Structure 1
Amino acid sequence: RLKRTRLGLDDFESLKVIGRGAFGEVRLVQKKDTGHVYAMKILRKADMLEKEQVGHIRAERDILVQADSLWVVKMFYSFQDKQNLYLLMEFLPGGDMMTLLMKKDTLSEEEAQFYVAETVLAIDSIHQLGFIHRDIKPDNLLLDSKGHVKLSDFGLCTGLKKAHRTEFYRNLSHNLTNDFTSQNMNSKRKAETWKRNRRQLAFSTVGTPDYIAPEVFMQTGYNKLCDWWSLGVIMYEMLIGYPPFCSETPQETYKKVMNWKETLIFPPEVPISDRAKHLILRLEPHLTSPVVIKHLILRLEPHLYSSNTSSSG
């Protein structure tokens, strides 16, 4: 459970910066009185687009941290000052899925099966609590020392990033650079371009719309199926080397996502099995149902205990 003791920055020694994002950074810190090591997420209040969201974020976070789920990054303390919100989380030395995917060209289907299986169970566990994550992406899939998946950033991005808003794309200039497909890139060059731009996207306050379901953009009502859409996009990226709708600009990506029935294409030069293609398509919310997902969970669960691919490499 979240500890309510009164703490401040002086109670922790900063060891090093281990991550940076749009709204702040993550530091490896040590609590001075106990010697325990944590990941301290520092969120700059001034950079959050809607200040009134901070209270909502903290309330949602408090509920989730009390769930004590195997699949959720644990939070131990939180405090704030005039500038920042500080969240003390468990430190996961395996890094995140974004970094793993940037290191490797693609994952084998066996490796992808392991990570997808764990992420299915992680997403299902938060849905069982009555929550929708809304921002499932490789940056938010953290890996422990043995390579097992844990979800992070519950509610911390919801409503804060322009990337979730249709009007952001409508209001932007139409002077766009050509998207990837118009340059006739092969899959290898597309993957190289994506990886070159990827970390910059993670730092952007706009974020990347690549993993966001169409109905979240439309804001006409969505349900937990939007999280399964995001997992389908991630599985595609694991096997192909880049997400299915990636483009030179967020606006072009948005257009592709909204027109996904025409733009979701498997490049013929990247060999993946029909079974893998079928699973990616089943994760699109327009083609799935809670019954299908439950069947998927039951089918994938045994792989957690039989797979020896539980390493982040």
Structure 2
Amino acid sequence: MTAARGSMTAVPRELIWWREADLAQWRELLERAMTAFAVAWDLDVAVSAFGNAGDIVLPPVLRSELAWAPLETSGLWVGCADAPVLSVRRALFGHEETEAWQHGDERDGTLTTDVANEAWRALGGALAGVFLVPEDDRNFPVAVTYPVAQRKPWSGALMAVISVRGSMSVQFGLHVPPELTRVSAPKSPRPGLPSRARIALTPVAAALGSQPIALVVTLADIELDLGALLAMQTGDVVTIPHSLQQPMTLAVRHANGGAGEPVAHAFLGAVHGTKAIELVGLADRPSTLTH
């Protein structure tokens, strides 16, 4: 069997892996939302795991694809052992009342049902609020079935395990697809950390103002053939093609020892028995020293 050229070529998968700094900001937002929900509903809520989907080890009750359902139109997926409302009801009222409600026991009034539904709406809204995407950025399709393949490393998806404890303890899983993470990544700095935009950058010249810089005074370059160089002896005079009326060049020394960009012109002299140079003019300042 022959295939048309290119028909077997796989489309490369985009690799996305979120850094610890990104994860820390998301987790902080998630924990704040869960704390607010816990206070409002008198529950103990903890984010027991959060990170890149490929790093999260899910509890057994969340490993099946059947445990996951979409969170309305938010693009998020929520996993739990029962229907989300049932899980919230167990946390609020315990196992017995939930079982009675499931089987239509007349002793179970509509009040607990309404409370459970309201609590689930609050929890779902809190989760969706962490990864809220502006309408203008919602140009991606929402998956119809649970995207289990996004649990692989480098998928760009995020996952969390959230424990809710009241009359009973229940666990929820949260799956954030890469379509959402790319457009909902935290853009503001974490509280207590300075924003880059608010940090005044110090000019290079000011930052390095106290650093020692090696300078080179160049009189002139000369050329000798090898024979003349080998024949040189103490006392020989080598004429330099440099007029006494012509200033020398003062330059920054390169790391290799050679002269770099000139900074000034000077004449050779002496002060208190020590050789010195007198600046007679500044060269054009190197751009590396002024910017």
> Shorter-chain-normalised TM-score: which range?
under 0.3
User: TM-score if structure 1 supplies the norm length?
Assistant: 0.21
User: TM-score if structure 2 supplies the norm length?
Assistant: 0.22
